[in-house]
């Protein structure tokens, strides 16, 4: 086998990935090489002529084949950066998106001093871990239905030295869960993709990321036995109705989060939810019509509606 330099391999791998029509072919090739060789982007740029060993080539070829088949680079590498920190990810967790960083910014801006929070549908734990890493006087609950996802979230909490301030809870957040008026903040990036929209997602998302983290009420073998998803905290205490038939698809878990938040938040507490780009108007109407105050729909860097922010009445 002829010797191959780092630059040669990246060039050939980029061509392979381009022909396979995957996203960001050159970046993917570079990330695979950096991961296997244990080098930084700077070292790749400054020492492209370094030859690769047969073991490195073998490992990189295997990862390249998986990437060409559409498997996301984050799963190949086992991590993804979020808010300036690296987080472990596995096929049991959603891959953190830059859009979700808007939840972090809104939370940090919206809560002063020590705070107690819950992150519903925590997945990799990137939201909860980041909040505790940014605020040493915050404590939180990481709630998820998937035991495998919670294990990853705990690993990330240990990695970023906040595990002692985060409690993992395996539970279905569409059922009554949290103590009344126990939290200052409730934050969530819940499943909000409607079944129709899901069919139109890229194969990279559909074929590899956990559908239960994307589509509300999708049942798979990792789910705790299903329950009635109508959330009832006792008659008049239900502060968001079931999804009206004329509203966008995918609102079911956003509604459940809002119901849980109205019970669990202290007076004046803050609710933050990530949602789909076409759901902002519907979420705003639902929250405003059910006693929430200061309801805002925040946009992401692309100008799309992305985060709903609301306050529980102080009185």
- The residue assigned the tokens 């925590």 is 122
Helix H or strand E segment including 117: strand 115-120
The reply, when asked if residue 125 is annotated as ligand binding, is yes
**Cα 14 to Cα 162: distance, rounded to the nearest angstrom:** 38
* R_g (Cα) of the chain, nearest Å: 21
DSSP string, 162-200: -GGGEEEEE--TTS--SPTT-EEEEEE------HHHHHT
Backbone angles phi, psi at 237, to 5 degrees: -85, 0
Helix H or strand E segment including 107: helix 101-110
Residues 216 and 145: beta-carbon distance below 8 Å: no
SS3 (DSSP) at 290: coil
Residue closest to 188 by CA, chosen among 131, 103, 124: 103
The reply, when asked if residue 192 is annotated as ligand binding, is yes
The reply, when asked if residue 190 is annotated as ligand binding, is yes
The reply, when asked if residue 124 is annotated as ligand binding, is yes
The reply, when asked if residue 28 is annotated as ligand binding, is no
The reply, when asked if residue 121 is annotated as ligand binding, is yes
- The residue assigned the tokens 């105050």 is 293
The number of C-alpha atoms within 13 Å of 190 and in the hemisphere containing its C-beta is 30
Interaxial angle between packed helices 126-134 and 147-159, expressed in degrees from 0 to 180 and rounded to the nearest 10:
20
- Contacts (Cβ under 8 Å, ≥6 apart) of 84: none
Residues 104 and 134: beta-carbon distance below 8 Å: yes
The reply, when asked if residue 137 is annotated as ligand binding, is no
SS3 (DSSP) at 237: helix
The reply, when asked if residue 173 is annotated as ligand binding, is yes
CB atoms within 10 A of CB 228: 8
Annotated binding site: 121-125, 144, 173, 189-192
Annotated binding site for substrate: 189-192
Annotated binding site for S-adenosyl-L-methionine: 121-125, 144, 173, 189
């Amino acid at each position: 086998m002829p010797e191959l330099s780092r630059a040669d391999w990246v060039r050939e791998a980029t061509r392979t990935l381009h022909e396979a029509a995957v996203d960001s072919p050159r970046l993917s090739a570079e990330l695979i090489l950096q991961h296997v060789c244990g080098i930084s982007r700077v070292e790749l740029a400054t020492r492209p002529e370094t030859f690769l060993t047969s073991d490195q080539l073998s490992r990189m070829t295997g990862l390249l084949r998986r990437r060409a088949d559409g498997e996301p680079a984050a799963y190949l590498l086992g991590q993804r950066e979020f808010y300036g920190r690296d987080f472990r990810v596995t096929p049991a967790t959603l891959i953190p998106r830059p859009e979700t960083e808007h939840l972090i910014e809104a939370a940090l801006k919206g809560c002063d001093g020590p705070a107690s929070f819950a992150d519903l549908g925590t997945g990799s734990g990137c939201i909860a871990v980041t909040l505790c890493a940014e605020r040493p006087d915050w404590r939180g609950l990481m709630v998820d239905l998937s035991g495998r996802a919670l294990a990853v979230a705990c690993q990330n909490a240990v990695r970023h030295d906040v595990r002692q301030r985060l409690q993992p809870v395996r539970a279905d957040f569409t059922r009554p869960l949290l103590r009344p008026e126990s939290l200052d903040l409730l934050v969530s990036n819940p499943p909000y993709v409607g079944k129709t929209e899901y069919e139109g997602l890229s194969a990279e998302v559909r074929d590899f990321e956990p559908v239960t983290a994307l589509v509300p009420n999708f049942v798979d073998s990792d789910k705790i036995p299903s329950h009635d998803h109508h959330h009832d905290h006792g008659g008049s205490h239900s502060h968001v109705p079931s999804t009206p038939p004329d509203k966008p698809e995918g609102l079911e878990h956003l509604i459940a989060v809002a119901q849980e938040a109205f019970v669990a938040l202290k007076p004046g507490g803050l609710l933050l939810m990530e949602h789909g780009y076409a759901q902002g108007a519907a979420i705003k109407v639902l929250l405003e019509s059910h006693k929430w105050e200061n309801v805002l729909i925040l946009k992401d860097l692309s100008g799309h509606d992305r985060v709903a922010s609301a306050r529980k009445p102080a009185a």
